[in-house]
Amino acid sequence: MKRAADSDERVYIIEPNEVGDLALTRPKSEGTLTWHFKMNNTRDVAFASSKSFIWDAARINLPSGKKALAQSVYPKESDGQEAWGRSTEYSKASVEHYSEMWYEYPYPVAVNVAADIGGMEYPGLNFCSYKSKGESLWGVTDHEFGHNWFPMIVGSNERRHAWMDEGFNTFINYYSYLAFNDGEYTNDLIKTRKYLGWLTNSSREPVATHPDRTQSNNLGMVAYMKPALGLVMLREYILGHERFDKAFRSYIRTWAYKHPQPNDFFNHMENVSGENLDWFWKGWFYSNANIDLSVDGVYPYGANYVVAFSNKGDMPMPVIFEITFDDGSKERRELPVEIWFKGNTWQHLLKVDKKVTKIEIDPDKIITDTNAGNDVWPSSIYGDR
Ligand SMILES: [Zn+2]
């Protein structure tokens, strides 16, 4: 354990060929061996014990210079580099990423236990399926460790507000996925077109629905995916990285070891980002509203252009659009959400010094616009204008 605490590579504490050698963990003299465990600021506790465990560990490096110990225990059946042989590497990467990006991990250990269960989270300890391998083991390990931030550090009530627990976790998992090992695995959370079927299904419930009142086949979207997509839109499209990250880090820091309600989150994000987001909370979290921004036409106006936009959806959104000029160059402009506050049409005077050949709303395809056909001018054959 001492060697592991100084190593970025995993070190065996019980090697595969030592499994079952009970002398290793027996006291040298007569009597019983007592293990003491202590961890502060935890809202739950779990432990695992088996004479079949291989046990390995490696150091976790935290931003403040503090260290923690990533550990994995798993049976021989789960061993191997394509399976639990990488569990400690995954655990270390996951905890280091969340600590760097959002809030420093406060616990002394992060233990991944191979168990006969899909995945379940506790403070400082996960149970993940002993059958998981490769990307699926990375995914479940990263998700369960992500729960240390929600709801273990920020003590959300998952029985009422599952989206503040599973949803926030799914959101931070997205960036952890992208960061792991220079993109070894991919996460398609924001392939927004794939949600169209669900977003237009009349049996769906709003995010704010308590999980025991959500139809079980909707729970994945209501509690996990839709809130995560909402935060991605907030970070990538509405606020931008700098303002979002400052606000979300401040929310975690302020509410660490406390029990925030939804309004505490909404208020905090607005106060720190300096922007009223009522329209977004109401539309995305409390209703089934969909987004449908449209570019209806582009008209010459002297040396410039007038671009006609409309909001055909049930909730407003800022308009980020990309202009392509006849020399092939591109430029982005942004119209704030306030353009929709007095109505659903907006004539934008586009001042340019080159000929415009194309206008495209949301060029990075971040928002879940339910009708892509009216997002581009000139309209494609799929257009409906
Ligand atoms: Zn979860």
**36's tokens:** 């003491």
- Under 8 Å CB-to-CB from 287, ≥6 apart: which residues? 206, 314, 315
* Mean pLDDT, all residues of the chain: 95
d(Cα 218, Cα 131) in Å, to the nearest integer? Answer: 26
Would you say 360 and 321 are in contact if contact means Cβ atoms under 8 Å apart?
A: yes
Ligand 1 centroid distance, CA of 202 (Å) = 26
Say if residue 378 is preceded by a cis peptide, omega within 30 of 0: yes
pLDDT at 135: 97
Ligand 1 centroid distance, CA of 136 (Å) = 14
Mean pLDDT along residues 346-354:
96
pLDDT at residue 212 greater than cutoff 90: yes
pLDDT at residue 27 greater than cutoff 80: no
Would you say 115 and 48 are in contact if contact means Cβ atoms under 8 Å apart?
A: yes
**158's tokens:** 């998952």
pLDDT at residue 383 greater than cutoff 80: no
Ligand 1 centroid distance, CA of 147 (Å) = 7
Would you say 35 and 113 are in contact if contact means Cβ atoms under 8 Å apart?
A: no
**100's tokens:** 């760097």
Which one is predicted more confidently, 152 or 29?
Answer: 152
Band (pLDDT 50/70/90 cuts) for residue 380 is: low
Would you say 284 and 315 are in contact if contact means Cβ atoms under 8 Å apart?
A: yes
Neighbours of 47 (CB within 10 A): 10
**157's tokens:** 């009530």
pLDDT digits (tens, 9 = 90+) for 252-273: 999 999 999 999 999 999 999 9
Ligand 1 centroid distance, CA of 71 (Å) = 20
DSSP 329: -
Q: If phi over 0 gives left and psi between -120 and 50 gives alpha, with beta otherwise, what is residue 191?
A: beta
pLDDT at 384: 42
pLDDT at 189: 87
Ligand 1 centroid distance, CA of 292 (Å) = 30
Ligand 1 centroid distance, CA of 143 (Å) = 6
The distance from CA 175 to its chain's CA centroid, rounded to whole angstroms, is 6
pLDDT digits (tens, 9 = 90+) for 40-76: 999 999 999 999 999 999 999 999 999 999 999 999 9
% of the chain residues with pLDDT over 70: 98
Would you say 50 and 19 are in contact if contact means Cβ atoms under 8 Å apart?
A: no
Mean pLDDT along residues 100-116:
98
pLDDT digits (tens, 9 = 90+) for 111-129: 999 999 999 999 999 999 9
Ligand 1 centroid distance, CA of 377 (Å) = 41
> What residue type is 278 in one-letter code?
D
For 88, the 3-state DSSP assignment is helix
- Of residues 167, 130, 128, 161, the one with CA closest to residue 145: 128
Ligand 1 centroid distance, CA of 254 (Å) = 22
pLDDT at residue 319 greater than cutoff 90: yes
Ligand 1 centroid distance, CA of 106 (Å) = 19
Helix ranges, the chain (H): 87-101, 134-146, 166-179, 196-199, 219, 226-233, 241-255, 262-273, 278-280
Would you say 336 and 318 are in contact if contact means Cβ atoms under 8 Å apart?
A: yes
pLDDT at residue 324 greater than cutoff 50: yes
Residue ranges of domains in the chain, CATH in brackets? 4-153 (3.30.2010.30), 154-289 (1.10.390.10), 293-377 (2.60.40)
Helix ranges, 13-61 (H): none
DSSP 38: -
pLDDT at residue 300 greater than cutoff 50: yes
Of 137-141, 196-200, 254-258, where does mean pLDDT reach its minimum?
Answer: 196-200
Would you say 109 and 145 are in contact if contact means Cβ atoms under 8 Å apart?
A: no
**What is the layout of strands, in order, in the sheet containing 319-325?**
330-335, 319-325, 356-361, 376-377
CA distances from 299 to 53, 98, 304, 325, 347 (A): 71, 48, 9, 15, 10
Ligand 1 centroid distance, CA of 38 (Å) = 25
Ligand 1 centroid distance, CA of 161 (Å) = 13
Which residues in 10-43 are b (16+ Cβ under 10 Å) and which e?
Answer: bbebbeeeebeeeeeeeeeeeeeeeeeeeeeebe
Which one is predicted more confidently, 383 or 23?
Answer: 23
- Under 8 Å CB-to-CB from 3, ≥6 apart: which residues? 11
